[in-house]
């Protein structure tokens, strides 16, 4: 698949439709094997039959790996029909939803667990500065978070796997009205530091105290054209290991 000529295309539906039409599989930030220990700990109070919604599944093997790890009630959602069809070929047991995660026609309190991996990151590729929490891009992320809160059942949890550093992401996750406590774990094995963030109903103050000092910093950024991401960069974000997108990455026993 030819790389986009600017990073902004990562936020566009037509780019993903075209890419997934020819690309069989790509695992952004690596497969489940990198995160299985952290996720097992975060989800230790849940049953393997509890309902999971994966936002922005694309053509990743992540839900297939979750299923192989024992989770039996998985729904995959994406804005790309081609991405959903690719995944359905490999994982016919799961449910599939074609929709925009910023406005999901899903009933309140429908899922026990909502999870995403690098999907929110795709909404932020055009942001001029990660320090501007009122940017159009961050406000779009906030819409997704409000939707996630709405569809989570009482006692449910939202898990976000991201390469965005916590002091850029936690201020959005602790926005007034979400009323989430935030746990952040760092995972190094995926090739570059990735962060697994777990949101549950609770007090946001500890996370605010730890990460939100950035509100006192003023950063001025000059307007610039979209940066072009190289093929090496995309593989790096995918997992560094060139075998990360092969069947070897589906082995969660390692």
The reported pLDDT for the residue numbered 132 is 78
86's tokens: 């690719």
- 242 φ/ψ angles, rounded to the nearest 5 degrees: -65, -15
Q: Residue 137: which H helix or E strand, with range?
A: helix 136-151
Q: Name the residue with tokens 């406000």.
A: 139
> Domain 7-250, CATH 3.40.50.150 — does that match?
yes
Rounded to whole angstroms, how far apart are CA atoms 243 and 239? 9
The DSSP H or E segment spanning 52 is strand 52-55
Give this prediction's pTM: 0.76
Q: Which residues contact 22 (CB under 8 A, 6 or more apart)?
A: 1
Q: Which pLDDT score is estimated for 240?
A: 32
pLDDT (tens, 9 = 90+) of the chain, 254 residues, equals: 444 444 444 455 566 566 665 666 566 677 899 999 999 999 999 999 999 999 988 888 888 999 999 999 999 999 888 888 888 888 888 999 999 999 999 999 999 999 999 899 888 877 787 777 788 888 889 999 999 999 999 999 999 999 899 999 999 999 889 999 999 999 987 667 899 999 999 999 999 889 886 443 333 333 333 333 333 334 333 333 333 333 344 443 33
Provide the 10 A C-beta neighbour count for residue 253. Answer: 7
Give the C-alpha separation, 91 to 125, whole Å. Answer: 29
Count of residues in the chain: 254
* Residue whose tokens read 């990360």: 244
Q: What is the pLDDT of residue 58?
A: 81
**Do β-strands 74-78 and 52-55 pair in parallel, antiparallel, or remain unpaired?**
parallel
Closest CA to 142 of 180, 182, 102, 113: 102
């Amino acid at each position: 698949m030819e790389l986009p000529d600017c990073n902004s295309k990562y936020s566009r539906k037509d780019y993903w439709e075209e890419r997934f039409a020819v690309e069989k599989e790509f695992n952004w930030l690596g497969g489940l094997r990198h995160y299985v220990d952290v996720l097992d700990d975060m989800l230790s109070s849940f049953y393997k039959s509890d309902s999971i919604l994966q936002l922005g599944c694309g053509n990743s093997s992540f839900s297939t790996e979750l299923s192989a790890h024992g989770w039996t009630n998985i729904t995959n959602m994406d804005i790309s029909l081609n991405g959903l069809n690719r995944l359905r070929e490999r994982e016919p047991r799961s449910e599939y939803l074609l929709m925009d995660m910023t406005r999901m026609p899903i009933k309140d309190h429908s899922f026990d667990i909502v999870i995403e991996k690098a999907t929110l990151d795709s909404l932020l590729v055009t942001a001029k500065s990660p320090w501007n929490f009122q940017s159009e891009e961050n406000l779009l992320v906030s819409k997704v978070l409000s939707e996630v809160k709405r569809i989570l059942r009482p006692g449910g949890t939202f898990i976000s796997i991201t390469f965005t550093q916590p002091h850029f992401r936690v201020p959005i996750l602790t926005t007034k009205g979400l009323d989430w406590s935030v746990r952040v774990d760092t995972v190094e094995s995926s090739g570059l530091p990735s962060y697994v963030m777990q949101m549950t109903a609770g007090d946001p103050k500890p996370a605010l105290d730890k990460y939100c000092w950035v509100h006192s910093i003023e950063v001025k950024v000059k307007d610039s054209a979209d940066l072009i991401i190289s093929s090496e960069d995309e593989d790096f974000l995918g997992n560094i290991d060139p075998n990360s997108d092969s069947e070897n990455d589906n082995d969660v026993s390692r």
